[in-house]
Structure 1
């Protein structure tokens, strides 16, 4: 443990697996007191146990629905009560429904916007006064390269729109947060091998090989790749970085 986040309180949403779990493990390894949350109690507790087994400090709260005003407010309040404040907020949690523009229902569009964009607004709004009271801090929003380009292998109308909104919100929060010492940045992964994507990536009849052919590094991203980018933006090493959007995509964003 090198202590890059020693003494910091890091709130991470969606810690039941994938990028959220990896972020919790990495931040705790660097000395942070992590407070996570998830919709699902079982996976949430598994992450807590993994962190503690590795010698880190973490509390988890589940089930929590952050896509409601009350859910977001209550979780942030509980996190502050458990850890004594907030230094870093990582907006990772999301839920997606896919469909082509002529087939995607309004209900699925609304579900995705609520669980990928509204959720970031609600949690950030709830945490903001605590960051201000702390004298500043860092917010890291998990975006996607789909927020700035189309996806050919699967229709991502709602997902792309939501993540594009997250990036736009990031920019506005940079301006509003600056006078309070609050830095706001984004990390935008491309295809990442998580429990949610693993079956597709292993399907010999699926689009995996075609997707991989457009990744210059010719390998899938891992949750830890994203977590280490988050760590940089959460730490003092990025103390003069605000408004950045770091792609963690093996170079995919620059391929036409």
Structure 2
């Protein structure tokens, strides 16, 4: 088991919870997703919440970009989210559960500081999928929403989009709240969308961006 999985297991156990790590999962493979979901249902008796947050990026600006890179990036995220929700759907209907997907501030708009064509396409598809599934799930009491963060301060982003030679490296000073988002910021929004406090919210994307989308993209702070 990877060290990250072991650390998560220890954190969950420390809070009195139980975590299942049934092995490798290919979120783009229907059979793999179904087996993984069945393992969870067998262990816990059902599914109450699906948090769909997986993706892969191989993308550049439109002129030099290979179509294969664009297509694989665009397919990976909405496909994986759809497969996961589809596998869990009968159990969500029984539990009147909820789904939280992850989009981005790039989903509803483009960005001159991040000239990549695939991410907005895939993130926009996640928002559209969220709204359609919310419409289908409503009669069953299943709520479907997504969170749309701006740049989040993680190991991965610090090594790529926040590197000194990337156009977005100084994005924090353009965010009205004056800082990058944290994983905890996104987590808190997702927890809200799965709680009873959001019982009348479905089909929306909750923007978690420190006010970024409230101003002009790229404007000097």
- Is the aligned partner of 1:126 residue 2:87? yes
| Alignment match, 2:74 | 113
Rounded to whole Å, the distance in 1 between the matches of 2:23 and 2:215 is 40
Match of 1:16 in 2: none
TM-score normalised to structure 2 length: 0.91
Displacement of 1:93 in angstroms is: 1.5
User: The residue matched to 1:241 in structure 2 has which SS?
Assistant: coil
**Which secondary structure does the structure 2 equivalent of 1:147 belong to?**
coil
Contact (CA 8 Å) 1:153, 1:211: kept in 2 or not? no
Q: Distance in 2 between matches of 1:234 and 1:41?
A: 28
1:186 match: secondary structure = strand
Matched, 1:237 2:197: yes
SS at match of 2:203: coil
Q: CA deviation at 1:58?
A: 1.6
Q: How many residues are treated as equivalent by the alignment?
A: 216
Asked whether the 8 Å contact 1:187–1:246 carries over to 2, the reply is: yes
After superposition, the CA RMSD in angstroms is 1.8
Would you say 1:81 and 2:42 are equivalent positions? Answer: yes
Query: 2:23 is matched with which residue: 47, 52, 62?
Result: 62
SS in 1 for 2:156: coil
Partner deviation per Cα, 1:60-92 (whole Å, 9 max, x = no partner): 233110111112111111111111101111111
Identify the structure with the greater strand proportion: 1
Following TM superposition, by how much is the alpha carbon of 1:240 offset from its aligned partner in structure 2, in angstroms? 0.8
Give the TM-score taking structure 1 as reference length. Answer: 0.79
**Residue 180, structure 1, aligned to residue 145, structure 2:** no
1:112–1:158 CA contact under 8 A, matched in 2: yes
Mapped contact 1:44–1:62 kept (Cα < 8 A)? no
Distance 1:114 1:201, change over 3 A: closer
Q: Equivalent residue for 1:10?
A: none
Structure-2 residue corresponding to 1:168: 128
Counterparts of 1:128 and 1:209, CA distance in 2: 40
2-structure distance, mates of 1:162, 1:102: 18
**Which moves more between the two structures, 87-96 or 209-218?**
209-218
Q: Which shifted more, 163-172 or 113-122?
A: 113-122
Structure 1, unpaired ranges of 5+: 1-39
Aligned partner of 1:35 in structure 2 is none
